[in-house]
Amino acid sequence: MIWFLIYNALVPVLLLAAAIAAFFVPRVRQWWSAFGDLRKRRERLGSALPATGANCWIHCASLGEARLLVVFLELLKKQHSSVKVHATCMTETGVEFVRKNYVARGLVNGVSLLPIDSWWIMRRQVGLWPNGSLLVLTETELWPNLMMAAKKRGFKIALINGHFSQKTWRWLSMARSLARMLWGTFDVVCVSEESYKRDLADFRVENKPILVTGNMKWDTAMPAHAASSGVHVALKRRLGFEDGDFCWVGASTREGEEKVLLDIYQRLVTRNKGLRLILAPRHIERAGEVVAMAQRAGLNTSRWSRQREKTAQVTVIDEFGLLGPLYGVADGVFVGGTLVPKVGGHNFLEPAYLGKAIAIGPFIENFKDIAQEFVEQKAIEIVPDGKALEEVLGHWIKDPEDRHQIGENARRLFSSHQGGSQRTLDALSDLLKTLPS
């Protein structure tokens, strides 16, 4: 209980710190600007009504977590049609994605921003829901006041696709009493890997199930991402590709990684004139910064949304929704968040689904078990640093047969692991049958 009180004492302090940071950090300033909008202010302060008839609250952090729900929501709609879902996200980007892709299709009944995790605000929001509703949290979205207020209201609580970075484990270990209290609120915990089940044993309060249902991200590489050959031809034409060009995609890159990839490109392009680099920063607001970095390196660089030069050596992506089609034209892929610490790695399953040769760095806490299995099946290259990444890329350019074999191994392994969304839904089946109408 002491850690719960400390957490609540810190909430106003953190809000004040965020208000000060808004003067200096654009992303924080964007978060605070939401309070100028009446709808967003009501949502953040917990006074916005959930969708009419909603009895299942699904929360995901942002765009990436929202995307992994697509197959799960389709199955939920088909197999439990009486369930009415209201979704929340931490970011407006996530909200817009859910609105356009799930609400518009009838998979979700409503969506809003997650209220601030203050006890009074969360108690107000939870009070607008029917007693006995279901709260579903995704991955590592553990919000103490939301969980405690929901439990007091009689909610059932489930975690799906749970996976935990080293940062999360450090936080849980420091506040063990709070961690045990939070885990005690869950009725069902679904984790993506066996190692997480073992790690969670220390925090269990009651004999509640911890189920290894697999990573739902295996199911989210939709066939639409494997766009038709006509789409690939059009994309190559826009990029100015010629026969024999080698397309290297740097996906979801973080600060510090683009410099490594650009340095590698500069060295390899002198021996491989048809080498083309496409950089897709994880946060597209960094696109201008990445373009400037490439131009300072003396590289012919184009920004996707303003593309004029079709023969650009480097193209920087500054729009959402392009990674899937770009993976389709890639010859080799580097997935970011893996060459720098404290991120844990981003999703490399989409290019695996498409049978692409993939390289990642050593910082892969978010996918450690999956990555190990890919290594064992020779379906991915894990490199310790930029020098090793350069050697791998050089080898792929020289040996297309080996590159294609790595991609085929990845495709085969991916196919063998699909079905996590259905297993997760099966794990929640009993909870879904008891929801208020």
Answer yes or no: do 201 and 240 share one domain. no
Virtual CA dihedral for 282, 286, 292, 293, nearest 10 degrees? Answer: -50
Assigned domain for 251 exists: yes
Asked whether the beta carbons of 88 and 114 are under 8 A apart, the reply is yes
- Residue 27 in any domain: the answer is no
Which CATH number goes with the domain that contains 82? Answer: 3.40.50.11720
CA pseudo-torsion sign 338, 341, 344, 346: negative
- CATH code of residue 231: 3.40.50.2000
> For residues 381 and 393, is the Cβ–Cβ distance under 8 A?
no
Residues 326 and 232 in one domain: yes
For the chain, the distance separating the N- and C-terminal CA atoms, rounded to the nearest angstrom, is 34
DSSP 384: S
pTM for the full model? 0.71
State what percent of residues in the chain have pLDDT above 70: 92
- Band (pLDDT 50/70/90 cuts) for residue 295 is very high
Residue 199 corresponds to which amino acid? Answer: D
Same structural domain, 191 and 280: no
- Whether the predicted pLDDT of 99 surpasses 70: yes
pLDDT tens column, 192-244: 888 888 878 766 645 677 899 998 988 876 544 455 667 788 888 888 888 89
Domain shared by 407 and 263, yes or no: yes
Percent of the chain surpassing pLDDT 90: 65
Question: In this structure, are 112 and 189 located in the same domain?
Answer: yes
Tell me if 23 is assigned to some domain: no
Q: Say if 190 falls within a structural domain.
A: yes
Q: Residue 239 belongs to what domain range?
A: 224-417
Does the residue 1 lie in any domain? no
Residues 6+ apart with CB under 8 A from 10: none
Question: Please, what's the largest Cα pairwise distance for the chain?
Answer: 67
pLDDT of amino acid 136:
98
Q: Which of 143-157, 284-298, 299-313 has the lowest mean pLDDT?
A: 299-313
- Look at residue 11 and tell me if it is in a domain: no
pLDDT at position 179, please? 80
In this structure, the answer to whether residues 204 and 241 fall within a common structural domain is no
More confident residue, 223 or 166: 166
Q: What is the pLDDT of residue 225?
A: 44
If asked whether residues 337 and 193 sit together in one domain, one would say: no
CA nearest neighbour of 191 among 181, 199, 182:
199
pLDDT computed for residue 428 by the predictor: 97
Number of domains in the chain: 2
332 SS3 class: strand
Same domain for 293 and 335, yes or no, is yes
Please indicate, yes or no, whether residues 272 and 149 belong to a single structural domain of this protein.
no
Q: Where are the alpha helices (DSSP H) in 281-385?
A: 287-296, 323-329, 349-353, 368-376
Structure tokens, 173: 């270990």
In a domain, 392, yes or no: yes
Q: What is the pLDDT of residues 23-47, one digit of tens each?
A: 677 766 666 666 678 888 899 999 9
Query: What does the pLDDT look like over 6-19, one tens digit per residue?
Result: 777 877 777 777 66
- 149 and 242, same domain (yes or no): no
pLDDT score for 224 = 47
Kindly report, residue by residue over 357-409, the tens digit of the pLDDT.
999 999 998 888 889 999 999 999 999 999 999 999 999 999 999 999 999 99
Quote the CA–CA distance of 198 and 316 in Å, as a whole number. 41
Q: Where in 239-291 does DSSP place strands (E)?
A: 246-253, 275-281
The answer to whether position 7 is within a domain reads no
The whole-angstrom separation of Cα 199 and Cα 103 is 36
Q: What radius of gyration do the chain's Cα atoms show?
A: 23
Same domain flag for 254 and 377: yes
pLDDT of residue 222: 52
C-alpha separations of 170 from 6, 140, 174, 278, 375 in Å: 17, 13, 6, 35, 27
- Are 235 and 348 within one domain? yes
Tell me the pLDDT tens digit for each residue of 76-98.
999 999 999 999 999 888 999 99
